[in-house]
Amino acid sequence: MFNCFLLQNGLCVSDATCLIVQFDGKCQICNTNNGYINNNGICVEGDVNSEVTTNYNVVSCKVGYVLHSTNCLKCNEIYTNSDSCENGKATKCDNTSEIDTNGMCNFNDCVIPNNENGKCTTTIDNCIYQLNGICNECESKYILYDNVCKKNKEPNCIVQNSFGCWRCQDTYYLDIPTKQCKSCNSSCSTCFETSTKCLSCPQNTYLSNYKCNTNEDLKMRCKHCLTCNSTNYKTNGGDCLPQ
């Protein structure tokens, strides 16, 4: 419901633009919810790109616009080559420019498109997709290896493509960040994720919680024997006795 004062002639002049009318016919408070601001007692429509208004001013603009006097202008109308801005500075430049410490976009002829932070990136040979200086995929016939596209096969890799190695041969594990095959620890026959996380063990050692244990390691922890050597036999109780 709108509030209004009665004019001297007894008429209420409240409408969708003005909430409270003075006796002299001028509007005292405009309807900011409908985007109107007060200009010397007359309610005028505020900028269509405004986000918050008071009775007399535009306070803030929509994303991608910046307040200039009483108008909301696109960022690139105020800050050349900018895509977005905030608090009087550009926060992101277009793909022709690089942002500086003062929040200005300076033209920079990048060899390849800018990264997501508005900085020029360095070309990685034979890379078809990279972001923030890191190659994510190489051209066909090239293999991604430690952020380099190599033509030769990654050593000790048995399954690979243009994204890099996906499976290593036994006694090696795949280091995910670098796509490199690295050696398992000597205590493991095979491993994964790290050199000491065993999947299988050498002869005469036994796997427990991804670790290979010797008989000596297990003596204090195991209650019964799993198998006995050739000179002993296993009892029903799990003990090894001479034959």
Nearest to 4 by CA among 16, 17, 21: 21
Taking the CA atoms of 230, 235, 240 and 243 in sequence, report the sign of the dihedral they define. Answer: negative
Sign of the alpha-carbon torsion through 23, 28, 33, 37: positive
Rounded to 5 degrees, φ, ψ at 100 are -105, 180
What is residue 8's three-state secondary structure? coil
Q: Which helix (H) or strand (E) holds 75?
A: helix 75-78
pLDDT tens-place string over residues 184-198: 999 999 999 999 999
Q: What percent of the chain has pLDDT over 90?
A: 13
**Burial grade of 110 (CB within 10 A; 0-12, 13-18, 19 or more):** middle
In the 3-class helix/strand/coil scheme, how is 109-176 assigned residue by residue? CCCCCCCCCCCCCCCCCCEEEEECCEEEEECCCCEEECCEEECCCCCCEEEEECCEEEEECCCEEEEC
Domain ranges across the chain: 122-173, 184-243
- Model confidence at 10: pLDDT above 60: no
What is the β-pairing status of strands 211-213 and 206-208?
antiparallel
Burial 91-108 (b: 16+ CB within 10 A, else e): ebbbeebbbeeebbbeeb
Confidence at 4, pLDDT banded by 50, 70, 90: very low
- Tell me, what's the pLDDT at 202? 93
Q: Report pLDDT digits (tens) over 142-182.
A: 878 778 888 767 778 888 777 778 889 999 999 988 888 99
Q: How many CB atoms lie within 10 A of CB 65?
A: 22
Q: Report, as an integer, the average pLDDT of 62-87.
A: 81
- Residue 109 — pLDDT band, cuts 50, 70, 90? low
Predicted confidence at residue 7, as pLDDT, reads 46
Q: pLDDT grade, residue 236 (50/70/90)?
A: confident
Q: Which helix (H) or strand (E) holds 76?
A: helix 75-78
